[in-house]
Amino acid sequence: QVQLVEFGGGLVQAGDSVRLSCAASGGAFRHNMMGWFRQAPGKEREFVAAVTWSGGGTYYAHSVKGRFTISRDNEKNTVYLQMNSLKPEDTALYYCAAYSLPYAYAQYDKAALYANWGQGTQVTVSS
């Protein structure tokens, strides 16, 4: 089974940038859509971004569009989330996830359709 581990979280100031990484091991994932979700204390987990198996298609939540960029390097089995112009409301535990089926990306913003999840990495943005 694929195992996902996130890296890169930390404490930053508003307006700063940070890049999150998600390393996959234990199996191939290059044919699965990958996504990033986040969850703040007291709130539901929400979709952030997703990238198709080839990296040619990307999807973003309205709240992060234009500021965040998702990408993947299948040769390195790694998915990235570049976050720019961070805001305090971006503070959350960020999760990397792999879609349940390869070559598919329908309902990309639905957490229930992702089968494998990382442990999460905390991003805290101070004002």
Residue 28 pLDDT grade (very low, low, confident, very high; cuts 50, 70, 90): low
- A 10 A CB-CB count for 95 gives 23
* pLDDT value of position 2: 78
pLDDT digits (tens, 9 = 90+) for 47-103: 999 999 888 899 999 999 999 999 999 889 899 999 999 999 999 999 999 998 888
Tens-place pLDDT, residues 41-52:
999 999 999 999
What percent of the chain shows pLDDT beyond 90?
80
The angle formed by the CA atoms of residues 50, 81 and 94, to the nearest 5 degrees, is: 85
User: What's the pLDDT score for residue 39?
Assistant: 98
